[in-house]
Structure 1
Amino acid sequence: MPSSAAFTPGPVGSFIKHHFRHFNAAAMVDAAEGYRTHLLEGGKMMVSLAGAMSTAELGLSLAEMIRQDKVHLITCTGANLEEDIFNLVAHDYYERVPNYRDLTPADEKALLDRHMNRVTDTCIPEMEAMRRIEKAILKEWMAADAAGERRFPHEFLYRLLRSGVLEQYHQIDTKNSWMIAACEKNLPIVVPGWEDSTLGNMFAAAVIRGDVKNVHTVRTGIEYMTWLARFYQEITKDCSLGMFQVGGGIAGDFPICVVPMLHQDLELEAPLWGYFCQISDSTTSYGSYSGAVPNEKITWGKLGADTPKFIVESDATIVAPLMFAYLLGW
């Protein structure tokens, strides 16, 4: 399908096209158009999620992006993987703290005493969210351990969602859960550094207690990279793979390195990433890789001089839903 195919934006998209004409606003429109063009030309897209985008309820738009085949691979932190499911089963118990900037240490201690874990202005309820999922996922870990089976973190959560044991606890419309949408599509997910998450800590505790005998029951980092290398080689035989990075950190840094690894460490042929966009408010001031402009990635063999490259220096909780709405025709 040619990139010039007719596109009629919906009400949100029309507003964006009319009002977002300069600076970061214009960069956002350019990036969204670049994303659309990449798909129209037959490309596929990886979306990486950093920060607390699941607690920000990005699933309200990301789930539909997945259902409409506008996302073909997700890389995310362990926190984003689990927090979409925490929200799924405990949404009604979450609390917003709009005046979080005014909280004293005593106020924070009061939240701790109530088992309310704060993420900026939103408190995640430990008992209804984290412990509820821990109890269910522990059974999956232990069953796999007893059977001598090993799975990736996202595969365990897919099994949990498919088992139906959480359905009695659903507190949001399931169409707004990006993990359910991904599970229904059996979407590939890569979760680098999964150990740095609530469930990662719980798995370590299960190993220490002896509930799980084999620490390798949950597959992690290096195995994710070897899987990603094979996936990248296979998918790029027929199309270009782009990267849409929401935030910085390991969720984006890890997968983008698959290309230079294939080239430099394995001396294999592989195309460069075919599109790149990052939404970030990080700056380059102190050697911040998360704030580095896309051109720096050319020097590392990740992007080419002609790769469509975009950076929107803004709040991802605002920009990502707007871009997704634009692409969805909302």
Structure 2
Amino acid sequence: MSTTPISDFLRHNFRHFNAAAMIDASDAYVRHLENNGKMMITLAGAMSTAELGISLAEMIRQDKVQIISCTGANLEEDLFNLVAHDYYERVPHYRDLTPDDEAALLVRHMNRVTDTCIPEEEAMRRLERALVDEWTAADAAGERYFPHEFLYRILRKGVLEEYFQIDIKDSWMYAAMEKNLPIIVPGWEDSTTGNMYAAHCIQGEIKNIHTVRTGIEYMAYLAEWYIEISKTHSIGFYQIGGGIAGDFPICVVPMLHQDMQMGNVPVWGYFCQISDSTTSYGSYSGAVPNEKITWGKLEPTTPKFIVESDASIVAPLMFALILGQ
């Protein structure tokens, strides 16, 4: 019996079009790592609510990813799922919901993401209570941390363990915490926990609004990481979706070249994007990889791939290939 049944199935059946692009991109990802490369994965959309952690956590544990960029939503929603999974509700007929059906979900404090409803009290408020303790303690001590660092502190202290409702091996944030993986969270303010933080600042519970580090400081943090790692390793870029999770970190290279005049910093050494966004006027999510050459992010010789499909299907399959499953 084969020891790699998923990979064998994919290589036998996925021979053309987006299916073939997926195989090619996976093989190039493996070659990049085998050639002493490092990889960034970026998470847009609601990939944590899609439970991508089931496969992404193993990628982290096996050192197949060295840094992650994600939206604030993906950062927090992995932990929402960790502490409240049993309270989530699927709505497979979500396309048929009426406005009154949606209002009924609101009354029950069930926040819908496509076919999945996140329970406010069990998920969001549980995490908020733990975060407020960390935020206010740091504020009182005059300390400042990034959003992901506050979540790492909570996980390390174990204050949420009584609420865990999934196996921790399926939480990518838990795996990242164990590795102390660098995480970039551009636009964290546009998230549920970002809204919570703003509310506590407005209410005066947090005196220094800058207790949570964000934005430009994340770019400086990424620039320092990229400069150091690129001295000895080519760094690849694996992008799920589009938007700020991908656009923010990929721009670190042209910033170093054009704004800091550092001509000796290499561009990204691999690029792959999974997206179902179509190319349209001004669309970043739907832009073909070659456009990034004109912005100084990639070179003509950079291995470039785009898989135009649903990331909730494609990413776990690619991770299976990369992991040799």
Q: TM-score range by the shorter chain?
A: over 0.9
> In the TM superposition, what are the counterparts of 1:207-286 in structure 2 within 5 Å?
207-268=201-262, 269-286=264-281
RMSD: 0.8
Match of 2:288 among 286, 293, 296: 293
Q: How does 1:174-185 map to 2 (within 5 A)?
A: 174-185=168-179
Which moved further from structure 2: 278-287 or 86-95? 278-287
| Structure 2 CA distance for partners of 1:121 and 1:241, relative to 1, 3 Å | same
| Aligned twin of 1:302 | 297
The TM-score with structure 2 as length reference comes to: 0.99
After the TM superposition, which of the residue ranges 46-55 and 277-286 deviates more from structure 2? 277-286
| TM alignment of 1:191-206, pairs within 5 A | 191-206=185-200
Residue 137 of structure 2 corresponds to residue 143 of structure 1: yes
For residue 284 of structure 1, report the CA deviation from its aligned partner. 1.4
Partner of 1:171: 165
**2:33 counterpart (39, 43, 51):** 39
- Aligned equivalents of 1:140 and 1:295: distance in 2? 44
- Taking only the aligned residue pairs, the percentage that are identical comes to 76
- Unaligned 5+ residue runs, structure 2? none
3-state SS in 2 of match to 1:45? strand
**8 A contact 1:89–1:128 mirrored in 2:** yes
Q: Deviations over 1:86-141 (max 9, x none)?
A: 00000000000000000000000000000000000000000000011001100000
- Report the CA distance between 1:160 and its aligned residue: 0.4
Letter in 1 for 2:317: L
Q: How far, CA to CA, are the matches of 1:208 and 1:140 in structure 2?
A: 17
Q: Does the aligned pair in 1 maintain the 2:79–2:171 contact within 8 Å? A: yes
Aligned to 1:77: 71
Superposed CA deviations along residues 223-272 of structure 1, whole A, max 9, x for unmatched, are 00011111000000101000000011000000000000000000012000
Q: 1:9, 1:78 → 2: CA distance?
A: 37
| Cα displacement (A) at 1:328 | 1.0
Match of 2:180 in 1: 186
- For residue 329 of structure 1, report the CA deviation from its aligned partner: 1.4
The answer to whether the Cα contact below 8 Å between 1:9 and 1:326 also exists between their aligned partners in 2 is no
Flag as ranges the 4+ runs of structure 1 deviating above 2 A: none
Provide the secondary structure at the position in 2 that maps to 1:287: coil
Deviation by residue 1:179-221 (Cα, 9 ceiling, x = unmatched): 0000000000000000000000000000001110001000001
For 1:205 and 1:59, the matched residues in 2 are separated by 29
Q: State TM-score, norm by structure 1.
A: 0.97
Please point out which of 22, 26, 31 is paired with 1:28.
Answer: 22
Query: Alignment length, in residue pairs?
Result: 323
Which residue among 123, 130, 138 is the counterpart of 1:129? 123
Aligned equivalent of 1:68: 62
Letter matched to residue 50 of structure 2: A
Aligned 1:7-26 pairs, distance under 5 A? 10-26=4-20
Report if aligned partners of 2:280, 2:287 keep a CA contact under 8 Å in 1.
Answer: no
Gaps spanning 5+ residues in structure 1: where? Answer: 1-7
For 2:291 and 2:220, locate their aligned partners in 1 and report how far apart those are by CA, in whole Å.
25
Task: Give, in whole Å, the separation in 2 of the partners of 1:321 and 1:211.
Answer: 41
User: Would you say the 8 A contact 1:244–1:276 is kept in 2?
Assistant: yes
Task: Give the Cα separation in 2 of the matches to 1:69 and 1:91.
Answer: 27
Q: 2-side partners of 1:34 and 1:219: how far apart?
A: 35
AA partner of residue 301 (structure 1): G
Shift of 1:9: 7.2
SS in 2 for 1:244: strand
Which residue does 2:148 correspond to in 1? 154
